Amino acid sequence: MKINIIAVGKLSSDFLEAALIEFKTRLSHYCDLNIIEVEAEKLPKNPSAKDIENLQALEGERILKKIEARSYVFALDVKGKPMTSKGFAKSINNLKLRGYSSFTFLIGGATGLSDFLLEEADYRLSLSHMTFTHQMIRLILLEQIYRAFKINNNEPYHL
């Protein structure tokens, strides 16, 4: 199974990088994990709605070029549909049974994902009603993917 995480921007903290490395190592037993970073646009001071829309479009085009054909695409969106960890694991398992072997997760930058990416995604997923930084959400997502594999393999998992 292949998992692609396409994220806008680079990580800027050592503690997040260390945690991501830990979950990459854990996930290597279950899948081929690729974290693909695309360049973030610089947000102007006091951006207008049009500035944000243009910025999202530029970042969105970069993301779109990285999505593999025939991959099931989850767009992370605070307005998306929430799932429990068990529900997420079951969804991944059901999608595998339907023939999907590649999953792509999209993480927007500071202003989120463009409307056209949200509309093109197979599923709009909310990991929480709370808002997290686009850097922190990478760690939260990796932990939930790891948890899904543990659940689907009937393996205990306690951190």
Query: CATH assignment of 2-152?
Result: 3.40.1280.10
Banded pLDDT at 96 (limits 50, 70, 90): very high
Characterise 154 by phi-psi region: left (phi > 0), alpha (psi -120 to 50), beta (else).
left
Q: What is the mean pLDDT of residues 31-40?
A: 96
Q: What is the mean pLDDT of residues 88-106?
A: 97
Q: Would you list the DSSP string of 43-95?
A: PPSS--HHHHHHHHHHHHHHHHHHPPTT-EEEEEEEEEEE--HHHHHHHHHHH
Residue 139 CA to its chain's centroid (Å): 10
**Sequence letter at residue 57:** A
- Answer for the pair 4, 102: CB distance below 8 angstroms, yes or no: yes
Q: What is the mean pLDDT of residues 41-55?
A: 92
Least confident of 27-41, 82-96, 111-125, 128-142: 128-142
Alpha-carbon gap, residue 118 to 139, rounded angstroms: 21
Asked whether the predicted pLDDT for residue 158 surpasses 80, the reply is no
Ligand-binding annotation for 127, yes or no, is: yes
Ligand-binding annotation for 129, yes or no, is: yes
Asked whether the predicted pLDDT for residue 68 surpasses 80, the reply is yes
Looking at residue 42, what DSSP letter applies?
P
* pLDDT on residue 114: 95
Ligand-binding annotation for 130, yes or no, is: yes
Q: Where are the domains of the chain?
A: 2-152
Banded pLDDT at 159 (limits 50, 70, 90): very low
Ligand-binding annotation for 128, yes or no, is: yes
Alpha-carbon gap, residue 133 to 62, rounded angstroms: 20
Ligand-binding annotation for 108, yes or no, is: yes
Residue 63 in tokens: 């993301």
Q: Could you tell me which residues are beta bridge partners of residue 95?
A: none
Ligand-binding annotation for 111, yes or no, is: no
Banded pLDDT at 157 (limits 50, 70, 90): confident
Asked whether the predicted pLDDT for residue 39 surpasses 70, the reply is yes
Banded pLDDT at 1 (limits 50, 70, 90): very high
Q: What is the mean pLDDT of residues 85-90?
A: 96
Ligand-binding annotation for 132, yes or no, is: yes
* pLDDT on residue 102: 98
